[in-house]
Amino acid sequence: MTTSAKDHWSAEKYSSAADFVPKLTTTVLSYLDVQPGDHILDIGCGDGQLTVQIAASASSGQVLGLDASQSFISTAREKYSSRNCNFELHDCTHLDQYPNAVDGSWDKVFSNAALHWILRNPGTRVHVFRDAHRALKPGGKLVFEMGGKGNVAEVQAAFTAALVHAGLSLEAAREAKPWFFPSVEWMSRTLSEVGFEVEKCELEYRPTKCSPENTDGSGGLVGWLRLMGAQFLEAVGEDKREAVLKEVCEILETVVTREEDGSKWLGYTRLRAVARKQ
């Protein structure tokens, strides 16, 4: 299944503005506990750098990375495709439309830093977990990390204010938010309701340092806002976007900056879960 949504991603911008995302994964990878021979589906695999790491541990197994970004999938294929590691373009809000994805053959379904995008639409939210459940073998497990309730709350508040100042209604500014950051309570209940046994569901406040800013504006806080907040910016006409971005940076300046060294930290709150198909 191809995707019609605009592709905001590029491996180059991702590595400048958010190279920490696939690296800060020690805990979720320990929960995944990859075994040789595992068949693993990676939902929202991005540029594939984490997927290929998983595939190396799965050795004789198979890992399939699915992502809705053509740019990321092209990069992943070019750099990391191998006998046991493959990548396909697919919108994971409809996992059941990918051939054999929900055939009950997978040992593990994995996702890092992607489900808060994939679950954005309330209409397809619960289906994603139903499909993940159908994808797994009995005894198989779903393991993921994503933004949880309160994640980058300062960014959300700053974008909402700047969009209202740019002329949007409060409702339209709120609607521009591209993510869903659920609570532990919502997540545990939803996973149980679709038939999982929830082994872990936890929230961690993990302030995360912005990457260094590049002269071309690609890294740092501003690069992060351009990449991750693209949908907020697209809520206004092109002529207003730089002004919105500037105002967001100004609102955030003292909120995210550590006075002792000037470094900028975003208030990442991560939700991790391990859920088993009985």
Largest CA distance in the chain: 56
Residue 120 per-residue DSSP state: -
Measured from each CB, the residue nearest to ligand SAM is 46
182 binds ligand SAM per the rule CB under 6 A? no
Nearer to ligand SAM among residue 17 and residue 168 (C-beta): 17
Q: Which of 13, 38, 55, 72 touches ligand SAM (CB under 6 A)?
A: 72
In whole angstroms, what is the distance from residue 32 CA to residue 106 CA? 13
53 token code pair: 């790491």
Nearer to ligand SAM among residue 68 and residue 136 (C-beta): 68
Under rule CB under 6 A, which residues in 111-130 are in contact with ligand SAM?
Answer: 112-114, 117-118
Cβ–Cβ under 8 Å, residues 54 and 63: yes
Distance linking the first and last C-alpha atoms of the chain: 29
Residue 43 CB, nearest approach to ligand SAM (Å): 7
107 binds ligand SAM per the rule CB under 6 A? no
131 binds ligand SAM per the rule CB under 6 A? no
Q: Which region, judged by CB under 6 A, interacts with ligand SAM, from 62-70, 76-84, 158-166, 208-216?
A: 62-70
250 token code pair: 């100004």
E runs forming strands in the chain: 39-43, 62-67, 85-89, 106-112, 136-147, 196-205, 208-209, 265-266, 269-277
48 φψ region: left (φ > 0), alpha (ψ -120 to 50), beta (else): left
Residue 47 CB, nearest approach to ligand SAM (Å): 7
Instruction: Identify residue 120 by its one-letter amino acid code.
Output: R
In whole angstroms, what is the distance from residue 270 CA to residue 181 CA? 9
151 binds ligand SAM per the rule CB under 6 A? no
Residue 160 CB, nearest approach to ligand SAM (Å): 21
Residues 6+ apart with CB under 8 A from 116: 146, 147, 151, 179, 180, 181
In whole angstroms, what is the distance from residue 230 CA to residue 177 CA? 10
Nearer to ligand SAM among residue 11 and residue 168 (C-beta): 11
Nearer to ligand SAM among residue 140 and residue 147 (C-beta): 147
Please tell me the number of Cα atoms within 13 Å of 198 on its side-chain side: 17
Nearer to ligand SAM among residue 66 and residue 222 (C-beta): 66
9 binds ligand SAM per the rule CB under 6 A? yes
Residue 206 per-residue DSSP state: -
Q: How many residues bind ligand SAM (CB under 6 A)?
A: 19
Q: Which region, judged by CB under 6 A, interacts with ligand SAM, from 39-47, 204-212, 230-238, 248-256?
A: 39-47
Residue 220 CB, nearest approach to ligand SAM (Å): 17
Residue 257 CB, nearest approach to ligand SAM (Å): 23
92 binds ligand SAM per the rule CB under 6 A? yes
Residues that bind ligand SAM (CB under 6 A): 9, 21-22, 44-46, 50, 67-69, 72, 91-93, 112-114, 117-118
